[in-house]
Amino acid sequence: MSVGTDNNKRIAKNTALLYVRMLLIMAITLYTSRVVLKQLGENDFGIYNVVGGIVSMFSIVSASLTSAISRFITYELGRGKEDKLRIIFSTSVFIQLGLWIVIAVLVETIGVWFLNNKMTIAPERMYAAHWVLQCSVVTFGVNMLSIPYNAAIIAHEKMQAFAYVSILEVVLKLIVAFMLYIKTFDSLIMYAILLVIASLIVRLSYSVYCRRHFKECKLERRFDKNVLREMLSYSGWNFIGTSSAILRDQGVNIVMNIFCGTAVNAARGIAVQMNNAVHGFSQNFMLAVNPQIIKSYASGQTDYMFSLAFRSARMSYFLLYCISLPVIMVMPWVLGIWLTIIPKYTVSFATLVLILGMSEAISLPLQYMNQATGKVKVYQITVGVLQMLNFPLSYVLLLYGLTPNSVFILSIIISQICLYARLLILRKTIGLEISEFITKVYLPIIYVSFVGCILPILLLILIVPYSDLINIFIGLISFLSAIVSVYFLGCNKNEQMFIQKKVKNFITKFTNSCRN
């Protein structure tokens, strides 16, 4: 059996495990959001999202090192350097601990000042907002310490363990949501405290599994200066890219609070949660592919890396498109079933965020290829500066009276500009052929996206009124239209034959099981 075939089977197996995980997580997360929004109310839900965003803003300090940890562990595993793996892991844990202390100091000074003086929060809810800020610091720190363990699981491609712990996490959050029905004291404060407890349980689960299964995950008092220097050199330039992404997301969220208030933050929070649930399908696919991209580069298999990256770029987009199109077509109906309270702008926000997610799904393999090379300076400066434009330009748009929807439209436009910038940079660093990417990835995506939505849009125009049955019909037709477009316009002959084989095997197994 060839190495490529073995790797493809491993990717398929890990992807299947992650999809089972995603289905459970999506169902639980969506229901949890409904319960939390109902129990907290629109304003408190918005407060939690925007105040938690203050802590996320300070994660600029740690996010660059997070990607460095994941890359270094995976890279050394691909090279088979077990001794250096242990050094990298222990160094990573101590780095994250130190950064947590730094971030806590920043939040307790700058963060508290910003909360008291710049944010639009009702005075009577400021006490609860401070509780949310403090609990968010603790939760954030606990999650930081879980990152080296999480990276080790993904690098070893033990997706079953990753899936189990992720499911445990959302189940704990569901339990937290139900505990909000117990009105013992302020629901928002209670919610923040319970999430801290849930994060501690998840952190302990990651630690126990990794220590039992991976030799390098036994924490030692080893702090290698050379490894630290390598990580800081890599993450130093990565800092620009990670800070730009955080400014685009949490920074813009705070700008929206300043101009529009907590109700709009609640709408954005709901839209982001819906996107996370749907976008998880393509993210899970890339989570299974990412270690293979880095390991193939580390072992010198660049042709296989390009082939895998192009194929995964298409498939991650198609997976997201097949789920997003039906949801977008019947968005008001979906939100009406999901939520008891629908804040203003939620429908448009959710639609635009899903489109943004599809736009960025194409770039994920390009990001992983750049991480694999370790040549991140030009890449992070260019893409980071472009993404940072979201923050000041969003401020200008809202300052001049444009609707909050304009912020998301701006993000979609900039994400496409960043895609082209990534292609130009990777052409110089690793010889990526832009014309090949356009032919094999971008054009099929355009064809599928255009053709797949024609019939659903016609149905929306021609069929009124929109009853439950009609919405279900339009959603089903949208899904089938997306699937057919992907099969005939998005897949090459080999991929079509692979799909046919899998469908036939499934039908045969299903028929045999029914007979028995």
Per-residue pLDDT tens digits for 238-284: 666 666 777 777 778 888 888 887 778 888 888 877 777 666 666 66
Q: Which residue has the higher pLDDT, 10 or 165?
A: 165
* Mean pLDDT of the region 292-321: 85
pLDDT of residue 351: 93
Q: Which of 320, 364, 24, 279 is nearest to 166 (CA)?
A: 24
The C-alpha atoms of residue 415 and residue 296 are separated, in whole angstroms, by 27
The C-alpha atoms of residue 153 and residue 370 are separated, in whole angstroms, by 21
| Token pair recorded at residue 275 | 């996107």
Q: How wide is the angle at C-alpha 308 spanned by C-alphas 75 and 14, nearest 5°?
A: 70
Predicted confidence (pLDDT) per residue in 151-186, tens digit: 777 777 776 777 778 788 888 888 888 888 877 778
pLDDT of residue 337: 84
Question: Which amino acid appears at position 82 of this protein?
Answer: E
The C-alpha atoms of residue 8 and residue 43 are separated, in whole angstroms, by 47
Q: What count of Cα atoms within 13 Å lies in the side-chain half-sphere of residue 408?
A: 24
Contact 121, 130 (CB under 8 A): no
The C-alpha atoms of residue 159 and residue 18 are separated, in whole angstroms, by 7
> Among 64-68, 374-378, 462-466, where is mean pLDDT lowest?
64-68
> Among 59-63, 77-81, 343-347, 416-420, where is mean pLDDT lowest?
59-63
Number of Cβ within a 10 Å radius of residue 446? 12
Give Cα 75 to chain centroid, integer Å. 22
pLDDT of 9 above 80: no
pLDDT of residue 129: 86
Q: How far apart, in Å, are the Cα atoms of 506 and each of 179, 217, 223, 494, 501?
A: 42, 39, 51, 18, 9
Q: Which residue has the higher pLDDT, 17 or 409?
A: 409
pLDDT of residue 449: 95
> Among 76-85, 279-288, 429-438, where is mean pLDDT lowest?
279-288
> What is the three-class DSSP state of 344?
coil
